[in-house]
Amino acid sequence: MSPGSSRGVRGGRLALALLVLLLLPRPGRAADAPYYFYQGRRYGSEAMVQPLRMIVNSGYGIMQLDNRSHAVWEVDYARGWRTLRRNLGHPITAIEQEGWGDFFRKEVVPFSTNTAEARYWPNYTQHLIGGGMSYRLMLEWYRWHAFPRPRLWAIGSITAYHVLNEVVELDAYDGWTTDPIADLYLFDPLSCLLFSSDRVARFCAETLQMEDWSFQPAYLPKGGRLHNNGQNFAFKLALPGSERWSLFYHFGTHGELGLSRRSASGLAWSAAAGLKAKNLLELDAGTRGVDLSLVGGLWIDRDGSLLASLVGAATKEYRLRLNLYPGLLRLGPISPSFFLVMNRENRILVGLGVTQLPVGLGLALD
């Protein structure tokens, strides 16, 4: 590693440490606005909600794919940032390289069913709907923890995760691409505007029972790898005539459709199957797509806060993924989170996390 690169890594670590200190939860709660997505629960996935964890889960989401490295210090952040700035600074030129028709057909207008062309799908699901819910969740989190100007903090957090996501995805690529233009100039701002509406937030929270069921990221010191990260969302739409059964949809870099059954105690069991992104494919210059694999899982939650999940997929890295959230295990006064991951070669990773820190610690059981 060159001296310049070494200084860049040290500077990045210092900046991250300062962010951790700034964004640690504060005592107190502001109760002057409705809370649709954050209720301050101390158990399950909601206990893990905090800005830095969201930034890590989403910013490094591309690392869930089989053909992307998990080594966070090997990402070419400088080149990714330069490429992002060039494309955002010259959006017309970038779009003209692909063609206006292709740009709207592949990135914006939801008509094509060709997986190589349907780049609009994550734009609507992950950026518009998921990103909007994340913005509102962060807004409520900052309000709950009595931060001044919570809307600005929420916008800053969302912007950080979207920009990091684009930089990590671009990595060493050096060329024109329309993907960040559609994301950062169209779908991401629209998501914040959409979920600024109490009516939209209420509909998603109460009618669709939308929740953030993200994974629990962990850092493996050996090799500087990040594992078990990824942002996930869940919908439950009550079936007509039933008080217990709901249509269930779980999505992120994947989508599973199934059913959920809720007990009188608030405990719910959900099962679903579908498809997930497996590899990132270079289709042509500046154009990327994914291939898909089968995925299915089981989820247990209490009043919307995820307690445990078991997900299996026909992929190399994450063939089996077990996540246990705070409230199920207890080590003295601490109720940690835990995960176990098995890949196609039956190699196992385990990790522990605590609610106060954005990233847990992982260990490969070689």
DSSP assignment of 218-285: EEETTTTEEES----EEEEEEPTT-SSEEEEEEESSEEEEEEEEE-TTSEEEEEEEEEEEEEEEEEET
Strand partners, 308: 300, 324
Which of 127, 138, 130 is closest to 37 using CA atoms?
138
Model pLDDT, residue 119: 82
Neighbours of 219 (CB within 10 A): 18
Query: pTM for the complete prediction?
Result: 0.88
Highest mean pLDDT among 96-105, 154-163, 276-285: 154-163
Q: Is the model's pLDDT at 65 over the cut of 90?
A: no
Burial class (CB in 10 A: 0-12, 13-18, 19+), 363: middle
pLDDT tens digit string along 18-33?
Answer: 444 445 544 445 556 8
Percent of the chain scoring above 90 in pLDDT: 73
Model pLDDT, residue 12: 47
pLDDT tens digit string along 304-361?
Answer: 999 999 999 988 788 999 999 999 888 878 889 999 999 888 899 999 999 999 999 9
Q: Is the model's pLDDT at 7 over the cut of 80?
A: no
Which of 359, 353, 288, 344 is closest to 312 using CA atoms?
344
Lowest-confidence segment of 15-24, 32-41, 79-88, 208-217 by average pLDDT = 15-24
Model pLDDT, residue 227: 95
pLDDT tens digit string along 107-148?
Answer: 998 877 666 667 888 999 999 999 999 999 999 999 999 999
Q: Is the model's pLDDT at 13 over the cut of 60?
A: no
Model pLDDT, residue 352: 95
Model pLDDT, residue 282: 61
Q: How confident is the model at residue 79 (pLDDT cuts 50, 70, 90)?
A: very high
Q: Is the model's pLDDT at 9 over the cut of 80?
A: no
Model pLDDT, residue 262: 97
Q: Mind giving me the DSSP string for 299-323?
A: EEEETTEEEEEEEEESSSS-SEEEE
Q: Is the model's pLDDT at 5 over the cut of 60?
A: no
**Long-range CB contact pairs, 108-115, < 8 A, 24+:** 108/182, 108/186, 115/289, 115/290, 115/291, 115/292
Separation CA 63–CA 66 (nearest Å): 8
